[in-house]
Amino acid sequence: MIVKKSEAMTSNRSYISKKFKPHVSILEWKSYEWQLKNSIRNIEDFESFMGIQFAPKERKALNKTIEKFPLSITPYYASLIDPENYDDDPIFKQAFPNPAELKVSNYDMRDPLHEDKDSPVKGITHRYPDRVLFLISNCCAMYCRHCTRKRKVGDPDHVPSREQIMTGLDYIRQHKEIRDVLLSGGDALMLPDNFLDWILTELNNIPHIEVIRIGTRTPVVLPYRITDELVEMLKRHHPLWLNTHFNHPRELSPSARAALRKLANAGIPLGNQSVLLSGVNDCPQIMKKLNQKLVQNRVRPYYLFQCDLSEGLNHFRTSIGKGIEIMESLIGHTSGFAVPTFVIDAPGGGGKIPIMPNYIISWSNNKTVLRNYEGVITTYQEPDDYKSVTCDRNCVKCKLQLNLKKDEKGSIGIEKLLADGDKTISLVPKGNARLDRRKGHNGKAS
Ligand SMILES: *Cc1c(COP(=O)(O)O)cnc(C)c1O
């Protein structure tokens, strides 16, 4: 049903432009500048675009909502909304304000992921050892209602200047452990081609940068941004990866697919990060269709996110169980590369934590009992004489011939607990009263 509707809605562009915007030529419609200039930014414009009318009370509540969280929808994305049944429409829900956004719960936070706190210089979040998030733009083609960085949307204080970007580049230059840079924002592809070209060139010139990734929702909400010129420029900066953000199969319109085709043809590996959203895609069937359609368009599903605890997102949040149920319905049931990793971005800056159904049922000394997606229970007999190579993080004496330079830092976290030759037995939270009572305790577990 869903697929049929999407084709009816999107295959007939002239139907849409006649119905909604009688004076738009197809050439204008497909210009991203025209789309941005004609973005819908208030309730009245949305009403006339869709040919609908809200009751005065509704309109008042909506206006109050967009005072706090502004509204901006591209005509393209709005044209994917079914005007006959917009209330339940997954496109509408992602684009159009809901007064429920103003209900702040006790758990909501302005910066739940502590992106600002983990920021050594403005625009950079350095959370993981070998990669950074680099916010280079605060503009978006559309303001997604489920945005985790809602606090920054449309805020002029957050527009990154050229100087701020140079400071970020300097930080990356000085930190040789960084090998992977994620360009995001805002939307990284909202920058002009030549400005982005400059940033990519600077990053490419840093010897320790091995890979650059771009995060963008333009293929979903403004596919005409993926111009031939842009793609020609991006092609010069390989290895360049790109992650986009499709949440529902109906978003894969002919125009969106054309944008993905251009990017894939330019040799850019494409990934997708979805967010699990109540009333939009919290359904195993929708998620399966979405991920299958993505791989059909050469996009590899990467992450499925549990909705963050940002302010204004409460009505979008689902239980974690819904995500596990969706993973259960994907793993084994469809192509392995059509299955994203379900993650919770830990509140407080802990980073992404993967969540899966359990497949290990039990184990003994040399047997593991597993179950598969069908519910078949099976055993894996482990080898009797397996001896793993003992690792002291020094390749010189090792038979595995990896020949890495000695790792000075060693391992961290649970990896450390598992590491050969590391004497750490436990990781203990700071302020553990029991250990603090031990006389002369130096704060470290022993
Ligand atoms: C998600 C994220 C990354 C990248 O994580 P991957 O798992 O490598 O995709 C890096 N930095 C920050 C702050 C992030 O939120």
1.10.287.980, 3.40.30.10, 3.20.20.140, 3.20.20.70: CATH of 124-354: 3.20.20.70
Q: Report the C-alpha gap between 327 and 289 in whole angstroms.
A: 13
Residue 165 CB–ligand 1 contact under 6 Å: no
**Which atom of ligand 1 is least distant from the CA of 345?**
15
What pLDDT shows up at residue 421? 82
Q: Is the CB of 128 under 6 A from ligand 1?
A: yes
62-66, 104-108, 243-247: which range is least confident on average? 104-108
Give me the active site residues, please.
127-128, 131, 140, 144, 147, 149, 308, 345, 352
User: Would you state the pLDDT for residue 408?
Assistant: 62
- Pocket probe for ligand 1: among 306, 352, 355, the residue whose CB has the most ligand atoms within 8 Å is 352
Centre of ligand 1 to C-alpha 353, Å, is 11
Q: Model confidence over 261-279: pLDDT tens digits? A: 999 999 999 999 999 999 9
Given a cut of 70, whether residue 291 has pLDDT beyond it is: yes
Q: Identify the pLDDT of residue 14.
A: 47
Query: Best substitution site from 131, 177, 211 to test ligand 1's pocket, by max atoms within 8 Å of Cβ?
Result: 131
Query: Residue 154 pLDDT > 80, yes or no?
Result: no
User: What's the chain look like in SS3?
Assistant: CHHHHHHHHHCCHHHHHHHHCCCCCHHHHCCHHHHHHCCECCHHHHHHHHCCCCCHHHHHHHHHHHHHCCCCECHHHHCCCCCCCHHHCHHHHHHCCCHHHHCCCCCCECCCCCCCCCCCCCCEEEEECCEEEEECCCCCCCCCCCCCCHHHCCCHHHCCCHHHHHHHHHHHHHCCCCCEEEEECCCHHHCCHHHHHHHHHHHHCCCCCCEEEEECCHHHHCHHHCCHHHHHHHHCCCCEEEEECCCCHHHCCHHHHHHHHHHHHCCCCEEEEEECCCCCCCCHHHHHHHHHHHHHCCEEEEEEECCCCECCCHHHCCCHHHHHHHHHHHECCECHHHCCEEEEEECCCCEEEECCCCCEEEECCCEEEEECCCCCEEEEECCCCCCCCCCCCCHHHCCCCCCCCCCCCCCCHHHHHHCCCCCCCCCCCCCCHHHHHCCCCCCCCC
Interatomic CA distance for residues 231 and 218, integer angstroms: 13
Using an 8 Å Cβ cutoff, are 245 and 299 in contact?
no
Q: Is the CB of 352 under 6 A from ligand 1?
A: yes
| Among 127, 178, 242, residue to substitute to test ligand 1 (most atoms within 8 Å of Cβ) | 127
| Parts of the chain belonging to CATH 3.20.20.70 | 124-354
Instruction: Assign 399 a pLDDT band (cuts: 50, 70, 90).
Output: confident
Q: Is residue 218 within 6 Å of ligand 1 at its C-beta?
A: no
- pLDDT(107) > 70: yes
What per-residue confidence (pLDDT) applies to 160?
A: 81
Q: Return the percentage of the chain with pLDDT > 90, whole number.
A: 75
Does residue 127 line the site of ligand 1, with CB under 6 A?
Answer: yes
* Residue 350 scores a pLDDT above 60: yes
Q: How confident is the model at residue 21 (pLDDT cuts 50, 70, 90)?
A: low
Q: Ligand 1 atom 3: the closest Cα is on which residue?
A: 133
Question: Distance from the CA of 133 to the center of ligand 1, in angstroms?
Answer: 7
| Residue whose CA is at the smallest distance from ligand 1 atom 7 | 352
Looking at the predicted structure, is the pLDDT value of residue 15 above 80? no
pTM for the full predicted model? 0.91
Per-residue pLDDT, 189: 97
* pLDDT score at 440: 63
Across the range 225-250, mean pLDDT stands at 98
pLDDT over 60 at 11, yes or no: no
